[in-house]
Amino acid sequence: MIDKKLLSLPGIRKILTLLAGIAFIQGSAIVGQACFLATTIVELWNGEKLIGQLKWVILFFGCFALRHFMVFYRDKILDRFAAKQSTDIRKQLLGKIFRVGPQVIQANGTGNVTTMVLEGVDKVENYLHLILAKTVNLMIVPWIILTVIWFFDWESGVFLLAIFPLIIIFMIVLGYAAQAKADKQYKTYQILSNHFVDSLRGIDTLKFFGLSKRYGKSIFKTSERFRKATMNTLKIAILSTFALDFFTTLSIAVVAVLLGLRLLNGQIQFFPALTVLVLSPEYFLPIRDFSGDYHATLDGKNAMNAIQKILALKEPKVRQIEIPRWQHSSTFKLKKAIFSYDKNHRALDDVSLSAVGYQKIGIIGLSGSGKSTLINLLSGFLQPDEAEISFEGERAASFTQNDWQNQLIYLPQNPYIFKATLRENITFYNPAATKEQISQAIEVVGLKKLVAELPQGLETIIGESARELSGGQSQRIALARAFLDESRKVLLFDEPTAHLDIETEVELKERMLPLMDQHLVFFATHRLHWMQQMDKIIVIDKGKIVESGTLAELKRKNGAFVRLSSSLRRI
């Protein structure tokens, strides 16, 4: 009943023991509450004075209060326990995400990862809370009550015991029926339920084609079809709750009638009969509770599995080597690198290249040719399937090396701008930069105009949902980051200007070129004009390096490079 994964949580044994103790006290209090209330009623029924019942009434209230106090106490304990567990899980998850990085995020999507860290973990917390309390209660409370009922009247005891498995069987059978029905309708269901959002998202398209006004009718019609489909499923889905309800209430009625008949014959006394009647709803309460928050528990369970899956991801254990700071005489070699995202298709196939000192290496190719994959491999985000890598002759398994990554600056097509002040964004790689350094960086990358325009200058908050910047401005900020950390001598560019308008690109290029001096540069692009400034050009196609050399050499060869450039410039 309890997931095996839960039993491996730290401190779970202790909490389960505690819960069992609480459930035991609760069960006993329920019995006490029923007995004392029955006593009071029977005495009054016999014509005794109310004042004489004070003792029983106080005892009743004492038991009643104790029972609910135990619930209160149990919830508090569970709050604390669940909160602690969720904090730990969240910490592990975040640690994992920030260690393994883009791989996890790409595979799951940013939105999903965020939701998992925040809501997913909350759901797990809720799940722990519910499942532990309910399961322990179900395993203890009904049986204490049943024992007492048996003691007072074994016939009712037999009846109540027999009905219990019947309820469970019915619930399971009906649950499966509902599931089967839901599965059968899943596809139509999905389409109908997405139809509305889909129409809203495409509403401008509808408008452009002059359909938007008439389309309202279709929205309503589809929504009504959705309602009918939902109701059809629901009729069956809530049958299992109905079965539970039906059997429990009817059982109480049957117990009452049987008790009544036997009272008539004098086979049982009033007090035990009344006690059994008061106790019978309590007997069913735990199972009703247990099935109550079914969806919350299911959600929690799924969330927990999803989180476990990420936590179980293998982290590449790459032997770290010492790599000296990159300088004009440094070298690295990459030989026969192979990388594939899936089995059938190699994204990089037998790629070899070497870099010496402050070379500028252009990587040119069409979309999907493997440019970005190569850059990601060089940055250490991806682990090659096979490769010989060596820094200054020393072998390394991949580029995931601390000593390498802390020398890198990576400029993607859309550099990420954090929602923070402009200053914090610029000094991301070097939070200790001085005022002079910052203003120099701003000057160099041409951000002066922006700083002057911003209401609080450098201290203005930029980024998502604050002040949004244009693509060119984002690139300039990323450049300033690079400029401010002079110790990083390796620059990786992945199509930094592909989405910019031609004039912005030109302005940016003027700023970028001086920064590339005295750096090892890898520049992946399909914009040909950058090739003039490169010392070496690598032409990549379908994951293979098809040609390499200086611009002059490649032009002379009249091969892949020339073909590529003329196909880009047919007109």
Classify the phi-psi angles of 388: left when phi > 0, otherwise alpha if psi is within -120 to 50, otherwise beta. Answer: beta
Query: In this complex, which beta carbon is closest to other proteins, that of residue 101 or of residue 457?
Result: 101
Torsion of CA 452, 453, 456, 459, to 10 degrees: -70
Query: In this complex, which beta carbon is closest to other proteins, that of residue 252 or of residue 338?
Result: 252
Query: In this complex, which beta carbon is closest to other proteins, that of residue 239 or of residue 335?
Result: 239
With a CB cutoff of 8 Å and minimum separation 6, the contacts of 400 are 316, 318, 380, 381, 383
Shortest distance, position 524 Cβ to other proteins, whole Å = 12
Query: In this complex, which beta carbon is closest to other proteins, that of residue 355 or of residue 490?
Result: 490
Calpha distance 16→1 (Å, rounded): 14
Query: In this complex, which beta carbon is closest to other proteins, that of residue 187 or of residue 314?
Result: 187
CA 277 vs CA 136, 270, 432, 507: distances in Å: 24, 11, 75, 87
Calpha distance 427→412 (Å, rounded): 18
Classify the phi-psi angles of 332: left when phi > 0, otherwise alpha if psi is within -120 to 50, otherwise beta. Answer: beta
Query: In this complex, which beta carbon is closest to other proteins, that of residue 13 or of residue 55?
Result: 55
Shortest distance, position 401 Cβ to other proteins, whole Å = 12
Shortest distance, position 123 Cβ to other proteins, whole Å = 13
Q: Look up residue 559 and give its DSSP letter.
A: S
For 229, the token pair is: 């489909």
Query: In this complex, which beta carbon is closest to other proteins, that of residue 180 or of residue 466?
Result: 466
Query: In this complex, which beta carbon is closest to other proteins, that of residue 87 or of residue 352?
Result: 87
Q: 3-class secondary structure for 24-60?
A: HHHHHHHHHHHHHHHHHHHHHHCCCCCHHHHHHHHHH
Query: In this complex, which beta carbon is closest to other proteins, that of residue 11 or of residue 336?
Result: 11
Shortest distance, position 404 Cβ to other proteins, whole Å = 10
Shortest distance, position 357 Cβ to other proteins, whole Å = 21
Shortest distance, position 184 Cβ to other proteins, whole Å = 18
For β-strands 394-396 and 386-391, DSSP reports them as antiparallel
**Using CB atoms within 10 A of its CB, is residue 431 exposed (0-12), middle (13-18) or buried (19+)?**
exposed
Alpha-carbon torsion 437, 443, 446, 451, what sign?
A: positive
Shortest distance, position 167 Cβ to other proteins, whole Å = 12
Cα end-to-end span (Å), the chain: 70
With a CB cutoff of 8 Å and minimum separation 6, the contacts of 258 are 155, 156, 159
CB distance 428 to 480 below 8 Å: no
Alpha-carbon torsion 134, 138, 140, 142, what sign?
A: positive
Shortest distance, position 236 Cβ to other proteins, whole Å = 11
For 493, the token pair is: 């560019």
Query: In this complex, which beta carbon is closest to other proteins, that of residue 282 or of residue 451?
Result: 282
For 467, the token pair is: 């002040």
Shortest distance, position 317 Cβ to other proteins, whole Å = 16
Query: In this complex, which beta carbon is closest to other proteins, that of residue 111 or of residue 393?
Result: 111
With a CB cutoff of 8 Å and minimum separation 6, the contacts of 442 are 426, 448, 451, 480
Neighbours of 239 (CB within 10 A): 18
Shortest distance, position 471 Cβ to other proteins, whole Å = 7
For 130, the token pair is: 């519910």
Residue type present at position 473: Q
Shortest distance, position 282 Cβ to other proteins, whole Å = 9
Query: In this complex, which beta carbon is closest to other proteins, that of residue 385 or of residue 501?
Result: 501
Calpha distance 413→416 (Å, rounded): 9
Shortest distance, position 264 Cβ to other proteins, whole Å = 5
CB distance 568 to 562 below 8 Å: no
